[in-house]
Amino acid sequence: MKRKKIGVIVTGLILSGILALSPAVSLYAEDGTVSVYEAEADENLSGQQTGEDESSNQPSDTGNSDIPSDETGDTGNQEDNSDTGSQDDADTSEDPQTPAEDGSDEGQPGDDTQTGEDSNPGDDQTGNDDSDEEQPGESNPGDETPEEPEEPFTGLQEQPDGSWYYLIEGILQDTYTGLVKDTDGTWYYVENGIVNFDATGLIKHVSGTWYYVKNGVMQSDYTGLIKNIDGIWYYIKDGRMQSNYTGLARHSTGSWYYIKNGVVQHGVTGLVKHVSGSWYYVKDGRMQSNFNGLVKHTTGSWYYVKAGKVQHNYTGMAKHTTGSWYYIKNGRMQNNYTGLAKHTSGTWYYVVKGKWNSSYNGVVTYNGKYYTVKNGKKVGTGMEVSQVSMYNKAQQYSSQTKWLILVDTKANRVGIYNGSKGNWTQKYFWVCTTGKSSTPTVKGQFTVGSKGKAFGHGYTCWYYTQFYGNYLFHSVLYEPGSMTDIQDGRLGINASAGCVRLSIGNAKWIYDNIPSSTKVVVY
């Protein structure tokens, strides 16, 4: 601007009067002398503010400094218009202003748009305010309340072409690539300062963390698996890649996959541990929810898996995919165990090194007793040592029926067997009373003959079965006609007149179940 000297030294009173009459003057002090200058408009400024004309220094379109636009009024020279102090609520890239709908921020009420000038309705919009004439409706500048300058805009802002720029104090961050949080809490992927709405995949933030972005927007509500452009699948939780996670993760399809350090392990087949502590069977990284059978762990042990999960609480027999059955205890196959193993059905099986031996027939021990095994399954009840001796003896005899009875007169025991020669199974093993030394029980091989409900004089014996002449199986002695009052109930000794005495229940079982012609061996 040009300055023209038009005044002389005057008193404070005269100067006050002049200033009141002419607002378009300024004071200039030099060497203690006050001079009055008339401000003239510079025709070459084209509306730009130099900072010398303090009375017209209004901010231009606050919030849009340095943003590319189609309008030419904003030159970007805003140094003298900005607030030199930082406001306490200044926005950062973490909490930007909400972008205006038309792509630009609105100024203070009464501001003009995009010109950087203080013009009133009816002005020629040239930016020149050197007219000495007062325009109709124009108020005296001295009567207006000065407006507070606004800080340049920081955050995401839409441009006229529809793109969104990331600005810090009005300056496009064209070297920044990463995530930026909008005022609504949504995070956007910014590439070289511009939101990239075409980006979909994993994006690395400046913090080093990877996030899942879809169409430029961080998917903070997404939890699942996503395939990145590198072809690798990653586990995402709340939009963030879980690089420290190892375990199983559910895909949106419903399938579960094994994750290690946030990456799906497609090359893993075997048993893996979930964060819950449970173990699962995965094949090519995918949990086999339809699999039931045995799976070998990397340690060499085999485990029973049901619906893809190791059954640590299971004890019993389990069928492998090969068709073989194995004994499982607490979910683990007992490959060092040989003996009887109980299945959940209640059936006992004979296993050798953990595997069921379906062809085995014989006697095996279990918890101090002997058991008969037929085709790999336990039959009958457990036997004492004396029972084993009788059992082995029974195998050499044949019978015309499927039943066989042996009587040990020394041990006073009766054995009931079912089956056939060489394949007899003990059904019962009872204590009995055989003949005393003066009237011993006959020894040899006999067959079952007649039967009757009772006999006796002065006593009653119930449910008799004849095996030779007057030698019978019958109950102990009861009072005549009674089934409750026992006259002589001794068992386990040699005390009879030659018959084989039994409890009334056992005598009745032979009476009811053993057919005629059944072989009886007394020794």
Distance separating alpha carbons of residues 171 and 154, to the nearest angstrom: 8
State the pairing for strand pair 471-475/500-502. Answer: parallel
Distance separating alpha carbons of residues 461 and 507, to the nearest angstrom: 10
SS3 379: strand
State the pairing for strand pair 187-191/177-181. Answer: antiparallel
How open is the CA angle 398-420-502, to the nearest 5 degrees?
Answer: 75
Distance separating alpha carbons of residues 509 and 274, to the nearest angstrom: 57
Would you call 432 a catalytic residue per the annotation? no
Distance separating alpha carbons of residues 179 and 208, to the nearest angstrom: 11
Half-sphere exposure of 219 (CA within 13 A, CB side): 19
Would you call 274 a catalytic residue per the annotation? no
Encoded tokens for 50: 């130099």
> Which entry of 320, 457, 461, 499 is annotated as an active-site residue?
499
Distance separating alpha carbons of residues 490 and 433, to the nearest angstrom: 7
Q: Which residue has the tokens 């009459």?
A: 21
Distance separating alpha carbons of residues 262 and 276, to the nearest angstrom: 17
- Burial of residue 233, with CB atoms counted within 10 A of its CB: 0-12 exposed, 13-18 middle, 19 or more buried: buried
SS3 17: helix
State the pairing for strand pair 217-218/425-431. Answer: unpaired
Sequence letter at residue 483: M
> Which entry of 205, 274, 343, 474 is annotated as an active-site residue?
474
Q: Are 398 and 344 in contact (CB under 8 A)?
A: no
State the pairing for strand pair 377-383/461-468. Answer: unpaired
State the pairing for strand pair 256-260/247-250. Answer: antiparallel
Taking alpha carbons only, the member of 388, 369, 380 closest to residue 419 is 380
Rounded to 5 degrees, φ, ψ at 379 are: -130, 150
Q: Are 509 and 405 in contact (CB under 8 A)?
A: no
**Which residues are tagged catalytic?**
474, 499
